[in-house]
Amino acid sequence: MIKPHGASALKPLVVADPEQNRQLQAEAETLPSLLLNSAAAANAVMLGAGYFTPLEGFMNIADTMSVASGMRTTNGLFWPVPILNLTDDIGRIEGAGRIALRDPHTDGNPVLAVMNVASIEAFNSDQIATIIKQVYGTSDAAHPGVAVFRNLGRYCIAGDIEVLNFSYFRDEFSDTFRTAVEIREEIESRGWSKVVAFQTRNPMHLAHEELCRMAQERIGADGIVIHMLLGKLKKGDIPASVRNECIRKMVEVYFPENTVMVNGYGFDMLYAGPREAVLHAVFRQNMGATHLIVGRDHAGVGDFYGAFDAQDIFEHLPDDALEIEIFPADHTAWSRKLNRVVMMREVEDHTPDDYIILSGTRLREMLSQGVAPPPEFSRPEVARILMEHYRL
């Protein structure tokens, strides 16, 4: 099986032993506490689940600036996006060596993790501007990731953490949320060697389904891991529970048994385009995938990135950066000429009128009116689930 990134074995930071977890929980109640923002809580969940192996906690300013500018920590580890715990209020934790990190998403704000505070530093405005420009490729406040980052706070709390739980993900998505450790174990139990991962924050339409098949066939993969984001998205995106139902129905009806795993991870979407695509590759390697499908405008939003910027960045990574490989995909759509789903760059004799493509706006209009999308666009079982959601 493919090795984890930067380590010989996964390093999940969750305290799995029940007695140790109970003792840490009791200690946490005596410690100064910090209420995390959503981004930091998502980072803690990913660290706990082993997806961010080999990191042992939150980065300091030196590592953050090094990662932002050159995609390496100060000790040389390849890493594409800073993993931060930011706040604007350090009043309750200033001077503390050990603190409790509280969950912003769960009633009562229970302790999510305990942190050994290595440093509390303040970013200056130039450093914030540099991080935003390097990671997101734009400083435009209209970019949803930039807008979120600007409001996370200027104080950087760095240090190792011990994670107590996985926030709401385990309870709300018990059939889907899996740690990197659990996915690796299932891949091994299925006897898969070559594994292709598909990242999604949307329900999967027919073109996505066929893209997974194309990748599996061309790579010669034993199986596919459809790995959906379960955390926060931007306003207007379809809720994770609906996406989960759609994807599971599609797999149940249209894929052979023991060829697809449907899993999810607890993270907030950054919409950081190329840099986020590389982060997606890092934690898919950690979960055991040998290949990641990187499609058109992967992890992008609006018109902030070129259609294939998220593929091009992999051409410029150092040779020792990652072991996982990407499957570069073009936009897929139904061809009226060929009567099947195709990758557009592979059918040069086509004109725009030869494809069936629905804009997101038009699709939402149809669903909200109870009109099923054409079968060349969406499986009827998936369309019914979406129409029910939009009627509510």
CATH superfamily entry for domain 176-391: HUPs (3.40.50.620)
Decide if 297 contacts 61 (C-beta within 8 A): no
Q: 339-357: per-residue pLDDT in tens? A: 999 999 999 899 999 999 8
Residues whose CB is less than 8 angstroms from the CB of residue 108 and which lie 6 or more positions away in sequence, other chains included: none
In the chain, ranges of CATH 3.10.400.10 domains: 18-170
In 3-state terms, what secondary structure has residue 326?
strand
Decide if 208 contacts 243 (C-beta within 8 A): no
Q: 1-59: per-residue pLDDT in tens? A: 999 999 999 999 999 999 999 999 999 999 999 999 999 999 999 999 999 999 999 99
Q: What is the mean pLDDT of the chain?
A: 95
Q: Between the CA of residue 199 and those of 282, 283, 330, 357, what are the distances in Å?
A: 12, 11, 15, 21
In the chain, ranges of CATH 3.40.50.620 domains: 176-391
Q: State mean pLDDT over 308-318.
A: 97
Among residues 200, 356, 309, the alpha carbon closest in space to that of 211 is found at 200
Among residues 216, 285, 329, 257, the alpha carbon closest in space to that of 5 is found at 285
Which residue matches tokens 């003792």? 23
Q: 148-157: per-residue pLDDT in tens? A: 999 999 999 9
Residues for the chain: how many in total?
A: 392
Using only C-alpha atoms, the chain has a radius of gyration, in whole angstroms, of 21
- By annotation, the residues acting in catalysis are 201-202
Among residues 275, 270, 269, 271, the alpha carbon closest in space to that of 303 is found at 271
In this predicted structure, the answer to whether residue 93 has a pLDDT above a threshold of 70 is: yes
Decide if 102 contacts 33 (C-beta within 8 A): yes
Decide if 212 contacts 352 (C-beta within 8 A): no
Q: Give the separation between CA 336 and CA 73, rounded to whole angstroms.
A: 49
pTM: 0.95
In this predicted structure, the answer to whether residue 292 has a pLDDT above a threshold of 80 is: yes
Q: 184-229: per-residue pLDDT in tens? A: 999 999 999 999 999 998 889 899 999 999 999 999 999 999 999 9
DSSP string, 338-360: TTEEEEGGG-TT--GGGEE---H
Tell me which of 3.40.50.970, 3.40.50.300, 3.10.400.10, 1.20.1250.20 is the CATH number of domain 18-170.
Answer: 3.10.400.10
Question: Cα-flanking dihedrals φ and ψ of residue 110, to 5°?
Answer: -65, 165
Query: Is residue 200 packed enough to be buried (19+ CB in 10 Å), middle (13-18) or exposed (0-12)?
Result: middle
